[in-house]
């Protein structure tokens, strides 16, 4: 506890201290938490990142607020995923009269085609995350040439961490027999993960969380869970847990835990950064799949 005199001294010191000339940070927006983490990694101290859909949030069905419009209006760069992920973003940018450059990170990847169109969940393959990082680096360099060296260095350091993460995930599954690598998730968010890391996902909901699950679709999933010997049913941090729990109850499959699909966790969770969330998912899956 500071004494009264101490407090006065502190207040005076703050008053007389010469203002430190600080370079103003570049205001940027990230549409959702995972991109927010990427932009912070590359931008470091030079940028101030405002994220629209925060931890555990569902970007598919998000409803923007006036505060989001203000973030957009101030931003020099607006980083979005695209591929139909944030269906509300274009209207928000138009309504806010945002003048910042829109950088659509999903454009750079080889998009998977799902039944309902392009699969937006590209970040679930670490190789695609690397493509996002390079695009973020280039966009920041274009608006802030003075920071070019910083962005290059930050991106290079993070890209090498992503290489290590990718190798770690591959290794996590290396001892698990192919026939055991089948699980249920809530929505179809893990197609890129499946493609890269060789785990098969069955999901009652499609590529978006928007559509309701019909009784017929659910019955189909339950049948296929029973036939295919699915190792576990996983919850998702952005989805209602009841659906997965019901499938587990009706089939006798075990509930494997919670996966981070379309959002990071809050700071206290195990998925507060992209690297942590991918590592968490891989470990939870491997635990459930191990014979």
- CB burial of 10-33 (b: ≥16 within 10 Å; e: otherwise) equals eeeeeeeeeeeeeeeebbbbbbbb
Q: Nearest distance from residue 120's CB to Zn ion, in Å?
A: 7
Name which of residues 240 to 269 contact Zn ion (CB under 5 A): 262
For residue 252, give both structure tokens.
């006798």
Residue labelled with tokens 């938490």: 33
Instruction: Decide whether 166 or 262 has the Cβ nearer to Zn ion.
Output: 262
Compare residues 150 and 205 and give the one whose CB is closer to Zn ion.
Answer: 205
Minimal distance, residue 208 CB to Zn ion, in Å? 6
Give CA–CA dist 98/92, Å, rounded.
Answer: 9
Whether 123 contacts 34, CB under 8 Å:
yes
Nearer to Zn ion, 12 or 211 (CB): 211
User: Helix, strand, or coil here: 233?
Assistant: strand
Q: How far apart are the first and last CA of the chain?
A: 57
Q: How far is the CB of 83 from Zn ion (least distance, A)?
A: 11
CA dihedral 229, 202, 211, 51 (to 10 degrees): 130
Shortest Å distance, C-beta 95 to Zn ion: 24
E strands along 71-199, which residues? 77-80, 101-104, 113-114, 117-118, 182-184
Asked if residue 189 binds Zn ion (CB under 5 A), the reply is: yes
d(CA 252, CA 127): 35
The nearer residue to Zn ion, 189 or 248, going by C-beta atoms, is 189
Of 143-151, 188-196, 197-205, 274-282, the segment contacting Zn ion by CB under 5 A is: 188-196
Query: Is residue 35 involved in binding Zn ion (CB under 5 A)?
Result: no
Rounded Cα–Cα distance for residues 163 and 171 (Å): 12
Number of residues that bind Zn ion (CB under 5 A): 2
Q: Compare residues 189 and 230 and give the one whose CB is closer to Zn ion.
A: 189
Write out the binding residues for Zn ion, residues 92-151 only, by CB under 5 A: none
Which range touches Zn ion (CB under 5 A), out of 150-158, 184-192, 263-271, 282-290?
Answer: 184-192
Nearer Cβ to Zn ion (84/127): 84
Long-range CB contacts (within 8 A, 24+) of 249-252: 250/222, 251/222, 251/225, 251/226
Which residue, 62 or 79, has its beta carbon nearer to Zn ion? 62
Q: Is there a contact between 184 and 234 (Cβ–Cβ < 8 Å)? A: yes
Are 96 and 50 spatial neighbours (Cβ–Cβ below 8 Å)?
A: no
58 makes contact with Zn ion (CB under 5 A): no
The least CB distance from residue 230 to Zn ion, in Å, is 20
Report in angstroms how near the CB of residue 59 gets to Zn ion at its nearest. Answer: 7
Residue list 200-239, contact with Zn ion (CB under 5 A): none
Stretch that binds Zn ion, among 48-56, 181-189, 250-258, 269-277 (CB under 5 A): 181-189
Q: Smallest gap, in angstroms, from Cβ of residue 247 to Zn ion?
A: 18
Residue closer to Zn ion by CB (options 144, 262) is 262
Tell me which residues touch Zn ion (CB under 5 A): 189, 262
């Amino acid at each position: 506890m500071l004494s009264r005199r101490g407090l006065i001294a502190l207040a005076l010191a703050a008053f007389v201290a010469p203002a430190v000339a600080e370079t103003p940070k570049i205001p940027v927006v990230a549409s959702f938490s995972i991109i927010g983490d990427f932009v912070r990694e590359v931008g470091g101290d030079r940028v101030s990142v405002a994220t629209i859909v925060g931890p555990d949030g569902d970007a598919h069905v998000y409803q923007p607020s006036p505060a989001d419009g203000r973030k957009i209006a101030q931003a020099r760069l607006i980083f979005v995923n695209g591929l139909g992920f944030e269906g509300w973003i274009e209207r928000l940018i138009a309504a806010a009269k945002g003048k910042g450059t829109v950088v659509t990170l999903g454009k750079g990847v080889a998009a998977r085609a799902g039944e309902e169109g392009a699969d937006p969940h590209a970040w679930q393959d670490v190789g695609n995350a690397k493509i996002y990082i390079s695009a973020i680096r280039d966009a920041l360099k274009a608006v802030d040439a003075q920071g070019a060296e910083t962005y290059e260095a930050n991106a290079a350091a993070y890209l090498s961490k992503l290489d290590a993460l990718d190798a770690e995930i591959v290794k996590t599954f290396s001892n698990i027999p192919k026939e055991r690598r089948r699980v249920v998730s809530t929505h179809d968010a893990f197609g890129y993960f499946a493609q890269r890391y060789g785990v098969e996902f069955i999901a009652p909901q499609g590529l978006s969380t928007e559509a309701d699950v019909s009784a017929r679709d659910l019955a189909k999933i339950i049948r296929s869970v029973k036939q295919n010997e699915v190792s576990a049913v996983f919850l998702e941090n952005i989805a209602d847990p009841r659906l997965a729990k019901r499938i587990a109850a009706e089939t006798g499959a075990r509930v494997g835990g919670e996966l981070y699909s379309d959002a990071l966790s809050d700071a206290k969770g195990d998925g507060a950064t992209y690297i942590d969330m991918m590592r968490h998912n891989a470990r939870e899956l491997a635990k459930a799949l191990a014979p």
